[in-house]
Amino acid sequence: MKILALVPGGIGDQILFFPTLDDLKHIRPDAKITVITEPRSKGAYRVCKSVSEVLIYDFKDRNGLADFANILEIIRDREYDVVLSLGQRWTVGFALWLTGIPTRIGYDGSTGARFLTHAVPLKTEQYAAEMYHDLLSGLGINPPFSGLAINVPKSDIDWAEREQQRLGVKDSGYILIHGGSSQLAQVKGIDKIYPVEQWQQIIQEIQQRQPNLPVVMISGPEDMEVTNELLQRCSDVKVTSPDDVGKLAAMIAAANLMICTDSAPMHLAVAVGTYTIALFGPTDPQKLLPQGDRAIGIRSSTGNMADIAPSQVLQKIWGG
């Protein structure tokens, strides 16, 4: 069986879709699963064991007719039996209809639902990974949702161990923080960055109460401004810059605690089981974090990240 999955969105969206792919592969082990995602998200599949091939396509209307025709031809040539689609625009549904894939599964109520063969209820009130998982009911299968999981390559685990040695935290353990946000979220004006001066207050109290437990900051290409400003205020914070999702996941897995904003590293922390405290501005933690005591969401009462007091975060850190 050849199965296609259309998964627009960032790396976090891909990670939230992994349980759907994993259960599909578990139930249909002979299936060859192909994912089409955006260029910025292809790297997520480094830590997914269930996908055979990843194709890229920009779902944000930045493609010309030639790009559309090319991806359509690629899909037709592969003769897929089934497609699962997170895309809800009518253009996505219409494109799937043009491919001739016999079983087309997506969400009921979307503008593209008329082009589907199986439309499942869209339950936006639940955890996003469970909402994605509901698509499997379009195939007549309903495996229980078991949570996020990833497959970190051994080479990335080895890299993380060397990085911990370099930072001097291999034996002491460490608290990991990520205070940045994707460039796309910033362009869209979505408030996901926690102010540096408030990070400073949190870090300084951690260092006062746990002087032997280092604080390590994750810094990616889009986080340089936040990183540099924080280092000016807290010069003894250590910095790690993993260059792919696997290495990042390995560093998160080895941490004693992850403190972060609503971001892809947050979903990786959930997947590897690291105790996580995540800060939310306008987004709803109930839709982006699973139920349980390993991942705690702190949501701003005003929708502004800056209105989360450091004392609220510290209270959760110390178990108050």
Domains belonging to the chain, first-starting first, are 2-139 (3.40.50.2000), 154-317 (3.40.50.2000)
pLDDT at 319: 83
Instruction: Give the DSSP H or E segment for 32.
Output: strand 32-37
Predicted model pTM = 0.93
pLDDT at 70: 86
Cα radius of gyration (the chain): 21
Burial of 61 (0-12, 13-18, 19+ CB in 10 A): exposed
> Whole-angstrom Cα distance, residue 137 to residue 156?
35
Report the relative pairing of strands 276-280 and 215-218 from DSSP bridges: unpaired
- In tens, the pLDDT along 68-78 reads 788 899 999 99
pLDDT at 181: 59
Sheet holding 175-178, edge to edge: 238-240, 215-218, 175-178, 257-261, 276-280, 295-299
- In tens, the pLDDT along 185-205 reads 454 556 778 999 999 999 999
Query: Which residues of the chain carry a pLDDT beneath 70?
Result: 61-65, 180-190, 320
pLDDT at 93: 86
Task: Tell me how many degrees the CA angle 319-296-13 measures, rounded to the nearest 5.
Answer: 160
For residues 168 and 36, the answer to whether their CB atoms sit within 8 Å is no
For residues 20 and 51, the answer to whether their CB atoms sit within 8 Å is no
How many CA atoms, within 13 angstroms, populate the side-chain half-sphere of residue 228? 5
